């Protein structure tokens, strides 16, 4: 989410290669220099591809070639992630053993570099990308549909960070309940506009007291709301 007061990132950590191969991997990655730049990557899709992209970006951090440490703008950083994604796909997609497998992945790239305003980009598996706007202040990648309705109803560019984070957690809770491919723990990171801080983020584990509390309160509240709606008129169902 790219909001008036800053950026909010939430990733789940479940990966799967079919139901027999469920695992936990971090999908939120942090690059930063306090006082100068924060760049957050979130990934979805093929894990071999996304891990290679992140590893190459880390390996090149501070090297001579173009990298996330010397990218002048977040637009340049997003372009670099896209170029690295294309490089990995070119390396792996030629291999005969991979034919027919989907090696694609998507990235969100958000952050702030120097005096630029905070920015957020959504990278497609082709390596090209779009940027968030006042009208569309958030992006989702991966299993996005279950959790979209609450974001569409409650999230705006002016939403305060704390409330936006609550909204994101509720969105993830809905998805986790309805789809096995999304699961705890959640990685959360909130960045305050112009702080140029490098927050380390927080990991919400299964059974986390605050998360359990809002899950229960939200679920109970929904059922109560539904019960309080006026009765369906007789002509609708006779």
For its own copies, the binding residues in 65-94 under the rule CB under 8 A are none
149 binding its own copies? (CB under 8 A): yes
CB of 148 to its own copies, least distance (A): 5
Selected binder of its own copies within 202, 205, 206, 212 (CB under 8 A): 202
| Beta bridge partner(s), residue 53 | none
Torsions phi, psi of 23, nearest 5?
A: -150, 170
CB of 192 to its own copies, least distance (A): 9
17, two tokens? 């290669």
CB of 128 to its own copies, least distance (A): 20
Q: Which residue has the tokens 């799967």?
A: 16
Q: What mask, x for binding its own copies by CB under 8 A, covers residues 204 to 223?
A: x-----x--xx--xxx-xxx
178 binding its own copies? (CB under 8 A): yes
Please write down the HEC assignment for all residues of 133-154: CCCCCCCCCCCCCCCHHHHHHH
Nearest by Cα to 177 from 122, 215, 211, 232: 215
By beta-carbon proximity to its own copies, the closer residue of 4 and 150 is 150
Could you count the other beta carbons within 10 Å of the beta carbon of residue 92? 16
By beta-carbon proximity to its own copies, the closer residue of 5 and 57 is 5
By beta-carbon proximity to its own copies, the closer residue of 124 and 218 is 218
CB of 42 to its own copies, least distance (A): 16
Query: CA-CA distance, 22 to 183, in Å (whole number)?
Result: 10
For its own copies, the binding residues in 182-201 under the rule CB under 8 A are 188-190, 199
CB of 118 to its own copies, least distance (A): 15
Query: CA-CA distance, 156 to 140, in Å (whole number)?
Result: 15
20 binding its own copies? (CB under 8 A): no
Query: CA-CA distance, 72 to 66, in Å (whole number)?
Result: 10
Query: CA-CA distance, 211 to 154, in Å (whole number)?
Result: 19
Query: CA-CA distance, 168 to 10, in Å (whole number)?
Result: 7
Residues engaged in binding its own copies (CB under 8 A) = 145-150, 152-154, 161-163, 165-167, 169-170, 174-175, 177-179, 188-190, 199, 202, 204, 210, 213-214, 217-219, 221-223, 225-233, 235-238
């Amino acid at each position: 989410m790219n909001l008036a007061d800053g950026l909010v990132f939430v990733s789940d950590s479940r990966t799967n290669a079919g139901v027999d191969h469920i695992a936990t991997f971090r999908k939120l990655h942090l690059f930063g220099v306090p006082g100068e730049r924060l760049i957050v990557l979130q990934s979805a899709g093929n894990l071999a591809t996304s891990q290679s992209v992140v590893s190459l970006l880390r390996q090149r951090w501070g090297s001579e070639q173009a990298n996330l440490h010397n990218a002048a703008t977040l637009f340049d950083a997003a372009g670099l992630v896209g170029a690295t994604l294309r490089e990995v796909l070119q390396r792996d997609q030629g291999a005969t053993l991979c034919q027919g497998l989907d090696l694609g992945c998507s990235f969100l790239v958000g952050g702030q570099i120097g005096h630029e305003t905070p920015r957020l980009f959504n990278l497609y598996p082709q390596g090209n990308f779009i940027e968030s706007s006042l009208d569309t202040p958030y992006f989702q990648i991966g299993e996005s549909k279950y959790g979209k309705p609450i974001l569409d109803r409650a999230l705006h560019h002016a939403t305060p960070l704390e409330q936006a984070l609550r909204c994101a957690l509720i969105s993830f809770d809905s998805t986790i309940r309805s789809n096995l491919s999304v699961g705890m723990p959640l990685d959360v990171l909130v960045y305050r506009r112009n702080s140029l801080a490098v927050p380390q983020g927080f990991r919400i584990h299964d059974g986390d007291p605050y998360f359990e509390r809002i899950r229960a309160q939200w679920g109970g509240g929904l059922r109560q709301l539904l019960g309080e709606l006026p009765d369906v008129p007789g002509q609708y169902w006779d």
